Structure formats: C-alpha cells, structure tokens
Chain A
Amino acid sequence: MKIFTCIVCPVGCKIKIDENGNIEGARCDRGINFVKRELLSPQRTLTTTVKIENGIVKVLPVKSLIPIPKENLRNIVKEVSKISVKAPIRIGDTVYEREGIKIIATRSVEERKDV
C-alpha cells in the first residue's frame, strides 16, 4: 500500500492505494487522477522568473502552460533562466517554447517611460 498527500488543492487529502489498485481517501475525482499521475509520471507546474528589459519591473514571472515531468524541473529552470524578454509583455504571452514545453508570462509588464 502507498499513501499520497494530494496537492491538487489546499485540503491535502491523504489518499491510499493498495496492491489491487483500490483508491481510498480522495474527497474528489481530481485526487484520484492525481494519484494515478503520481504513480505513472509525477508532474508539476513550473514557476520562475526571467529577465525583462525596459519594463517597469526588473524580472518577469512565468510558468509552464501545463504541468511538466517532475524530474525535468531543474533542467528547464536552467534553460529558461538564460532567456531575456522585452517590455511590453501581456499576461499569457509565450516567452519560451521547446519540445512541447511552453513557458508563458504570468503578469503584464508595461514599458518603462522614464528612460
């Protein structure tokens, strides 16, 4: 038997799965799907920041459009940290795309006016 703490929402259900695949303890279907994914290929949404030029802020927060395999998180953060974007940026703009992984802006950034 294996016990997972569901991380889909803040409730944090303790979900048990036994040798026969019986799942217990999930308060909703999202929890059941979470356990199935955790067993096959655990995935996480990646969030980090990238450089932004000429914006009203110094760095741009970004995230992966869809969750990515957990073991790739560190490598992708390293890749993404090399890029730099230019203001203006709209929330949802793609800032990086490679091998099916899409990284998008999670805020809008206006151009800096005082330069």
Chain B
Amino acid sequence: MKRFNTDIAIIGGGPAGLAAAIRAGELGANVVLIERDFELGGILNQCIHPGFGLSLFGIELTGPEYAERFIEKVYTLNNIKILLSTMIIDIQDKIIYGVNKYDGVISIKAKAIILSMGCRERTRGALGIPGERPAGIYTAGSAQRLINIEGLMPGERVVILGSGDIGMIMARRFVLEGAEVLGVLEKLSYPGGLTRNVVQCLEDFNIPLYLNHTITGIKGKYRLEGVVAEDLINKKKFSLDVDTLLLSVGLIPENELSRKIGVMLDPRTSGPVVTQDRETNISGVFACGNVLQVHDLVDEVTRESYMAAEGAIKYISSERKVGGIMDVRPGENVRYIVPQRLTLPIEKPLYVYFRPLEPLTDCQIIGECNGKIYSLGKTEYARPGEMIKLRLRKDILDSGSDIKIKLEGEKV
C-alpha cells in the first residue's frame, strides 16, 4: 500500500477544497488534496452560467472560469500534492484510506484533516411522489451535468419541481437548447432561489412560476408521459403533458465520512457543528463549503475555506490558546447559525452566518446574551434563499456567555 504523510489532508477538490489547499499551501503547510473526479473544480465545472466571483473578485465569472483561477493557482504551489480519481473510503484517527486506479489502496497520514466533500441533491425518494418509475425524472443537477458536461439533451417537454437556483438556471438552459419548459412549480408561497434568477432565468424567457403548487402524480411506464400538478391553495389538480421532470428540491451536505469518524452534526444544517475556525468536535478535523452548510454563493464558500485552512494551520503549529466555549444558538425566525460554537479567546473580527425561517421585511436582528437584549442590526428584507452575514459586537463576545440570535420583522 502506498503511504503518504502530510500536514493537512483535504477531502474534495471543488471550490472549498481548492481554496483551503491554496491558503494552507501559501501558509507553508504540506497539503494532500484528494478529488474523486478526474479533474479539480467540482460542481463549478458544470455551472457554465455567469454570476460567480462578484463579491470576491468584483467581476462576473462563469463557474468554470471561477474554478480555473483556483486550479491554476493550486498547481503552482509545490507543497500541494494532488490525488485525482481517488475515492476516500475510510478514516481512522488521522489516517485516511482511499483507492484509485494508479496506486490501488492508499493511506494518507495527516496532522489535520479538512472535510470539503460538498453536498448532493435531494431526490424523488425524499419527496415520496407516488406513481410509476419511468425514465425522464432527473434532479436538476444531473440534467445540468448531462447537458453541460456530457453534451446530451435529457428531454423536450420539461416541468421543474422546486424553485431552487439550479432548477431555475436549468429552465433557461433547456429553453436555450430548444426544449419547451412548461413551468416551475414551487410548494411554498415564495421562490427558493435568488430573485435575480427568477428575473433572468424565468421572466426573461416567459417561463411561468407556479407558487403554492406541487406534483402529486407521475404518469408513464417506460418514459415519463405526464405529471399531475396540484394547486395547494385552491386544491385543484391538473395534468401537464411532459417527457421530463426536473427536481430542484434542496441540497444535503454529504457527510457519510464525517459521520463515520464521529463528527457531531447539526440537524438544522445537516453539516458538522463547528467553531469559528470551522473545526468540528473532533480536534484537528475541519469542515468548509457545502459539506458544512449549503451556500448560495461560491464566493462565501471560498472565504469559509480560507478560515478552515487558517484554523488547521493554527492547530498543527500548536499556537492555539485554549479557553472557554460560547454557544451561538438560533432563536425565533432563524433557521440555523454557523458557527455554532465559539472558542475563547476570540482573536479576530467574528462573523456569523444565518438564514431566516421564512421571508421577512423591516427586519431587526436581535441578540440575547446573559439575560440582556442587544440590537445587532437591521435589514430591509430577509429571505431564506439569501444568507445573512453579521459581525458580532465585541461587547457580546467579551461577555463569554452563550448567545441567541433572533429575527423580528413583518412576514411577507
């Protein structure tokens, strides 16, 4: 068995793994970056649409362009060893076991591990739509892969369930490739993805968005022949004659490996519970990107991954001071908060990331700490599809007590 020894092993070579590897490499650590695909870049390679990099680089890039900036950089750093086409199958203590066609079974002994495995899509099974199991039902991301990577067209008459960003982006993509998109159906009363995608993907192409609608039936034995849609307000059912159904109904962090090694997961994010350094409950194991929390913007994935890399460097250089712990908990109207745990002393400006449970306007962000109420800021609107980033005030951090953050506002 081929054995590697390194300072930091990074599992997953998408945007999170790439950023973590670059930051750790630049800070002088030896890094092994492991990717299961034959090339780096992860899901960015199939996200050929623009909209990436505005916040980090100030220019609008497509997914592959964003990825290539990082891929080029990672190959210039000599202290980063890249293992492609390599699947990690187990982790025991800080030894990672993997397999690839060049070396067979390999082991990587690392001082610290960064988990950056990303997420995967919820499937039909998670929704429990009854009916036959014909061909023609895809998650939005698999259809995206078929068109943008494999060069194949999955169907001609399409309906999309769920108004996540990938679903809306694929609606536009199908239309541009000559298919007919009958509509995007959303169970909730508001779209799941970014507003800009409602405008530039649906409205631009006259694709109807049916809010408060879902799909309750599947027709067709071998190939999809139609779906039964339901208006949840008026309780009316109608048929849509389609050969393709795309599901854009949410993403789940891919934490099989994390679970295996005893990483504590937050049921709200389905990702690990982490500190401000993005360290999990297992000392020396860090997590960043969509494996930790499903992000809206890759720019934030990159920033989070820099934090994880810096945390891992601090861990292996044993410069860490060990103080107390403060918990950060979601209060009213808050779906989740990352990081969930702060370790003292806090040496840098500290930001927390959270989402509202449902859309709110005229929104106050309120902190509760040690029985005291703090006004932490306000925002004109808060939407579940758009993560809120908040710098925590020093006086709260100095208190050393647990913090609860809640939102107050008008429901939309």
B is a partner of A: yes
A contact residues vs B (CB 8 Å cutoff): 5-7, 9-10, 12, 44-45, 47-49, 51, 56-59, 61, 63, 70, 73-74, 77-78, 81, 91, 106-108
Q: Residues of A contacting B38 with CB < 8 Å?
A: 56
Contact A47-B151, Cβ < 8 Å, known A12-B196, A106-B62: no
User: Which residue from chain A places its CB closest to the CB of B67 in the assembled complex?
Assistant: A107
Among A5, A7, A9, A106, the residue within 8 A (CB) of B64 is A106
A5–B45 Cα gap in the complex (Å)?
Answer: 28
B contact residues vs A (CB 8 Å cutoff): 38-39, 45, 48-51, 54-55, 60, 62-65, 67-68, 147-151, 175-178, 194-196, 198-200, 204, 296-297, 386
* Nearest-Cβ distance from residue B53 to partner chain A, whole angstroms: 11
A48–B64 Cα gap in the complex (Å)?
Answer: 12
Q: Residues of A contacting B39 with CB < 8 Å?
A: 56
A79–B95 Cα gap in the complex (Å)?
Answer: 52
A113–B296 Cα gap in the complex (Å)?
Answer: 37
Among A6, A47, A57, A74, the residue within 8 A (CB) of B49 is A47
- Enumerate 18 A-B pairs (CB-CB under 8 Å) in ascending A order: A5-B196, A5-B198, A5-B199, A7-B200, A9-B54, A9-B55, A10-B296, A12-B195, A45-B60, A48-B48, A49-B151, A63-B50, A74-B176, A106-B65, A107-B64, A107-B65, A107-B67, A107-B68
B149 touches A58 (CB 8 A): yes
User: Which residue from chain A places its CB closest to the CB of B60 in the assembled complex?
Assistant: A45
* Nearest-Cβ distance from residue B89 to partner chain A, whole angstroms: 26
Among B68, B149, B194, B204, the residue within 8 A (CB) of A10 is B194
A48–B147 Cα gap in the complex (Å)?
Answer: 10
User: Which residue from chain A places its CB closest to the CB of B69 in the assembled complex?
Assistant: A91
* Nearest-Cβ distance from residue B73 to partner chain A, whole angstroms: 14
Q: Residues of B contacting A47 with CB < 8 Å?
A: 48-50, 62
Q: Residues of B contacting A9 with CB < 8 Å?
A: 54-55, 196
* Nearest-Cβ distance from residue B72 to partner chain A, whole angstroms: 9
Among A7, A59, A91, the residue within 8 A (CB) of B196 is A7
Q: Residues of A contacting B178 with CB < 8 Å?
A: 78
A61 touches B176 (CB 8 A): no
A49 touches B148 (CB 8 A): yes
Contact A77-B176, Cβ < 8 Å, known A10-B386, A12-B194: yes
Among A59, A73, A74, A107, the residue within 8 A (CB) of B151 is A59
A44 touches B48 (CB 8 A): no
A57–B123 Cα gap in the complex (Å)?
Answer: 27
* Nearest-Cβ distance from residue B179 to partner chain A, whole angstroms: 12
A63-B62, A77-B177, A107-B45 are known; give 13 further A-B pairs, CB within 8 A. A6-B196, A10-B196, A10-B297, A12-B195, A44-B200, A45-B60, A47-B62, A49-B147, A61-B148, A63-B50, A78-B178, A91-B64, A106-B64
* Nearest-Cβ distance from residue B283 to partner chain A, whole angstroms: 35
A57 touches B176 (CB 8 A): no
Contact A10-B198, Cβ < 8 Å, known A59-B151, A61-B62, A91-B68: no
Q: Residues of A contacting B45 with CB < 8 Å?
A: 107
The 5 closest A-B pairs by CB, nearest first: A12-B195, A107-B64, A61-B48, A7-B196, A59-B151
* Nearest-Cβ distance from residue B60 to partner chain A, whole angstroms: 7
